[in-house]
Structure 1
Amino acid sequence: MHRRTATAWIAGLGLSGLTAPAQASWNPSERINYIIGVAPGGTVDLYARGIKDTLDSLKLTHGQSVLVENKVGAGGAIAMQFLKGQAGNAHYLGTFHTGAIAGAVSGLIKADPRDFLPVAMLVEETSLVAVRADSPLKDGLDLVAALKAEPAKLRIAVAPALGQNTHLALAKPLSVAGVAIGQLTIAPFRSSGESVTALIGGHVDVVSATAPVILPQVQAGKLRILASAAPEPGNGALAGVKTWRQLGVAADYVSYNGVTLPPGVNADQIRFWEEALRQVAHDKAWIAMVEKSGNKPIFRGYVDSHRYLQSEWTATTELVRQLNLGAGK
């Protein structure tokens, strides 16, 4: 799919004019299998299970059950390879996430997200950097100063692999601030839930993760947020948290979370899932859950999601080259 232009591919499916809900002629006729490429405990898992629960509560799958399964390993590549093996079968869903783009561009995930069909984006995620509450580091500028002095001294946890979104969300502002990011000590974990647990346990010194896994520990008095990678200040639980830009570092990093389909599905199948997920996105309970987690609920359908995938691939390729995190593609 990635060997064609976005416009030609969309037009080939007859989806170029999808600007409003369309009636799909395909409906599920067997169990839905929702494949998650990370371990339980992180935001990708959290939102996938939230989507599953909303599909169930709104009865959007024509009486078919939805089974969630975590296929963990190789930075998400095992799940992607499994989903690729279900080509043409719209009874399989996968997780669409900016981290997969970053990992593939940097060569750390041996799978290509452009082989899949991103049917919807439902969450705009805020990446945070945090330390234990007793850390001497009080904000992002303290972290910059410490890493400029000794780049390798602090162990920084990311998930689920090097070169993915939680890594880039911290590497980008640190690079802009003048830190030698190629010398950092980065510790990858299988999920952000595990990386936060490692921070609380004293096994690492800093964590970069998205808001839902950090905020509960901040509220429990165990962690302190140093900075947010969001382009604008947050609200609610993130009110008062300084962005890197507010701290004088001209950098931000936004990632998205949603749903993808295997290659080879048809336009009717895409329309069915786009409309079902549109209803998920407008559900009050779903919106409340996402907002409580510290992230922003959104809805962007297939066309916008596909265009984002293409543009983010290009932008991330340039970022990876600038940061010397991989060869890019």
Structure 2
Amino acid sequence: MRLRIFAAFAALTLGALAGCGGQGGGTAASGTLRIMAPAAPGGGWDQTSRTAEQALKAAAPERKVEVFNVPGAGGTIGLAQLAGEKGNGDLLMTMGLVMVGAIEQNRSKVTLAETTPIAKLTEEYEIVVVPAASPFRTLADLVAAWKADPAKVSISGGSAGGTDHIVAGLMAKAAGVDPKRVNYIAHSGGGEALNELLGNKVSAGISGVGEFAEHVRSGKLRALGVTSGQRLPGLDAPTLKEGGLDVELANWRGFVAPGGLSEAGRKALTDLVTKMHDSRPWKDAVAKNGWIDSFQTGRPFADYLSAEQARVKGIIAEMGLVS
């Protein structure tokens, strides 16, 4: 399997940090709320962060909010930066299933245990697309070429070990192709993968539905399948199962804060994000982007995170994605 990782994770030496809901010296939020999108512009984390920024400004107009990007290594560079902000109640980081996989793939020295879980926000299905000029008219066409010579079928997507990569591996396994032979081209942001597709530089691409749907509707990309159990409304695309591959997977995204927050700091951020979630601008954006509202806070989200880390570690090991 040929793998290009455009940003390497720099190892950091870190002291012990408090975990979820710790009794550190953090205080309740008071200044400008900064939201880190730990990826380059154009991808799902960036899109979620900027959507949240606008919804927060509408729901809490008295609060200043700004988004900044820290791309690289599936979000683990941003995660390491977050770890250096122990107790900061004015900082959130957008994250999700991609980061869970990247932590394993990159053997990150910083893990989600060193963050404060705030909220799970959305789920989103993945979509497999090809350029409009592609000879692959159906998923069966792509699979046939894959079986004939996996190296000749290049698949562009997000970070190594992330959701897009996992989908590619699961598709290969279902098609009878060795997942280790998948020619997966990893990127730090969805914009880079999209540019390769629109420039006819890769055979296919995998990303969240919200990132490619507009270009499918405009005719610039052709959808070969989605990872949902049933067809999605407003999108002319079969499911992967309809195309003969028994693969179903939903990506998810959420917010975490630095470790070491006081209970007051954790509650202030949770209350603010809950207010955002309940706002009309957020609900409209969720519907427009085809996201699934899966809001969850507190201990349930912390437990969910722990379970996801164990599940994804098993998937990545089975697929041989850990180098």
TM-score range, shorter chain: 0.7 to 0.9
Match of 1:204 among 198, 202, 208: 202
Q: Indicate if the aligned counterparts of 1:74 and 1:109 stay in contact, CA closer than 8 A.
A: no
Q: Indicate if the aligned counterparts of 2:22 and 2:261 stay in contact, CA closer than 8 A.
A: no
Cα RMSD for the two superposed structures: 2.0
Q: Indicate if the aligned counterparts of 2:22 and 2:260 stay in contact, CA closer than 8 A.
A: no
**What are the equivalent positions in structure 2 for 1:87-166 lying under 5 Å apart?**
87-107=86-106, 109=108, 111-159=110-158, 161-166=159-164
Partner Cα separation in structure 1 for residue 126 and residue 174 of structure 2: 17
Q: Secondary structure at the match of 1:152?
A: helix
In the other structure, the counterpart of 1:22 is none
Aligned-pair CA distance for 1:279: 2.2
Match of 2:292 among 291, 296, 303: 296
Per-residue CA deviation, residues 296-315 of structure 1 (Å, 9 max, x unaligned), is 23311132221121111111
Aligned-pair CA distance for 1:103: 0.8
Aligned-pair CA distance for 1:29: 1.8
Partner Cα separation in structure 2 for residue 311 and residue 145 of structure 1: 36
Q: Indicate if the aligned counterparts of 1:40 and 1:193 stay in contact, CA closer than 8 A.
A: yes
Match of 1:262 among 242, 258, 262: 258
Q: Indicate if the aligned counterparts of 1:108 and 1:162 stay in contact, CA closer than 8 A.
A: no
In the other structure, the counterpart of 1:181 is 179
In the other structure, the counterpart of 1:83 is 82
Answer yes or no: is 1:272 the counterpart of 2:272.
no
Per-residue CA deviation, residues 152-183 of structure 1 (Å, 9 max, x unaligned), is 11111111x21111111221122122112211
- Equivalent residue letter for 1:254: A
In the other structure, the counterpart of 1:53 is 54
Q: Secondary structure at the match of 2:252?
A: strand
Q: Indicate if the aligned counterparts of 1:38 and 1:75 stay in contact, CA closer than 8 A.
A: yes
Partner Cα separation in structure 2 for residue 138 and residue 290 of structure 1: 30
State TM-score, norm by structure 1. Answer: 0.86
Q: Secondary structure at the match of 1:213?
A: helix
Aligned-pair CA distance for 1:13: 6.1
Partner Cα separation in structure 2 for residue 37 and residue 246 of structure 1: 34
Aligned-pair CA distance for 1:113: 2.3
Q: How many residues align?
A: 302
Q: Secondary structure at the match of 2:145?
A: helix
Aligned-pair CA distance for 1:241: 2.1
Aligned-pair CA distance for 1:243: 1.7
Partner Cα separation in structure 2 for residue 184 and residue 124 of structure 1: 26
Q: Indicate if the aligned counterparts of 2:58 and 2:281 stay in contact, CA closer than 8 A.
A: no
Partner Cα separation in structure 1 for residue 75 and residue 31 of structure 2: 25
Change (3 A) 1:231 1:115: farther
Aligned-pair CA distance for 1:109: 4.8
Q: Secondary structure at the match of 1:303?
A: helix
Q: Secondary structure at the match of 1:102?
A: helix
- Equivalent residue letter for 1:180: D
Aligned-pair CA distance for 1:273: 1.9
Q: Indicate if the aligned counterparts of 1:97 and 1:257 stay in contact, CA closer than 8 A.
A: yes
Partner Cα separation in structure 1 for residue 248 and residue 240 of structure 2: 7
Partner Cα separation in structure 2 for residue 287 and residue 139 of structure 1: 34
Aligned-pair CA distance for 1:129: 0.8
- Equivalent residue letter for 2:31: E
- Equivalent residue letter for 1:245: K
Partner Cα separation in structure 2 for residue 243 and residue 155 of structure 1: 21
Q: Indicate if the aligned counterparts of 1:48 and 1:95 stay in contact, CA closer than 8 A.
A: yes
- Equivalent residue letter for 1:32: L
Partner Cα separation in structure 2 for residue 78 and residue 318 of structure 1: 23
Structure 1: which 4+ aligned runs deviate by more than 3 Å? 108-111
Aligned-pair CA distance for 1:128: 0.8
Match of 2:306 among 295, 303, 310: 310
**What are the equivalent positions in structure 2 for 1:315-326 lying under 5 Å apart?**
315-326=311-322
Partner Cα separation in structure 2 for residue 77 and residue 321 of structure 1: 19
Percent identical among aligned pairs is 25
Partner Cα separation in structure 1 for residue 167 and residue 240 of structure 2: 11
Q: Indicate if the aligned counterparts of 2:38 and 2:95 stay in contact, CA closer than 8 A.
A: no
Partner Cα separation in structure 2 for residue 90 and residue 110 of structure 1: 23
Q: Indicate if the aligned counterparts of 1:96 and 1:118 stay in contact, CA closer than 8 A.
A: no
Q: Indicate if the aligned counterparts of 1:98 and 1:256 stay in contact, CA closer than 8 A.
A: yes
Per-residue CA deviation, residues 242-271 of structure 1 (Å, 9 max, x unaligned), is 222233322212111111110111222222
Partner Cα separation in structure 2 for residue 149 and residue 84 of structure 1: 46
Partner Cα separation in structure 2 for residue 111 and residue 186 of structure 1: 25
Q: Secondary structure at the match of 1:203?
A: coil
- Equivalent residue letter for 1:103: A
In the other structure, the counterpart of 1:68 is 67
Q: Indicate if the aligned counterparts of 1:28 and 1:64 stay in contact, CA closer than 8 A.
A: no
In the other structure, the counterpart of 2:283 is 287
Partner Cα separation in structure 2 for residue 268 and residue 175 of structure 1: 47
